[in-house]
Homo-oligomer: A and B are copies of this chain.
Amino acid sequence: MFPTSDEDGPGLAPGTSDVLQAATRVLAGIALRSLDSLGAAVTLPQFRLLAILADLGPVPSGQAARALGLDPSTVTRLADRMVAAGHAARGTDPRHRGVVTLTLTASGRELVAAAGAWRQRELARIMARLAPADQEAVTAALGLLVSAAGDDYGIIAHRPVPL
């Protein structure tokens, strides 16, 4: 089934590495292609900014930068493009006039929602090929993997993880 690369490290059952690599390809592929479904409206970094804004609501630019693991200046320029495209808006915090808050516009919210919907449809399409019991097994196993990875690869990590 998989091109066994006879490269299994210590403590890993044979074939595990290959399966993990293939699974990474599948999951990352779904995430990336969901952007293509938007008609090339936004790039991956741009979408990441929109997604974090959808998650956090209106936040200071710097906080978005920390959440994304990017330099503040990079977020400034990403925001430039998203404001120009009408997907986000800049605002000010009355308390601290030096702070620039970023918010999604209706257009931005639509993009994030559309990508999420596409991802779910695609996922359902793939899972539908499995028996119900297997579907449950996949979900349960992924939950195990995620819990094992713990905080190391969570949204809030020492070094934030993309996607």
Of the candidates B11, B31, B143, the one whose C-beta lies within 8 Å of that of A1 is: B143
Residues of B within 8 A of A116 (CB): 7, 17
Q: Is chain A's binding surface mostly helix, strand, loop or mixed? A: helix
Q: How far is the CA of A14 from the CA of B159 in the complex (A)?
A: 29
Task: Say yes or no: B26 contacts A149, CB within 8 Å.
Answer: yes
**CB within 8 Å of B: which A21-40 residues:** 22-33, 36
* Distance between A111 CB and nearest chain B CB, rounded to angstroms: 15
Question: Is A89 an interface position by the 8 A CB rule?
Answer: no
Q: Which A110-130 residues have a C-beta within 8 angstroms of B?
A: 116-117, 119-121, 123-124, 126-130
Contact of A23 among B29, B36, B134, B142 (CB under 8 A): B142
Neighbouring B residues of A20 by C-beta, 8 Å? 27, 30, 123, 142
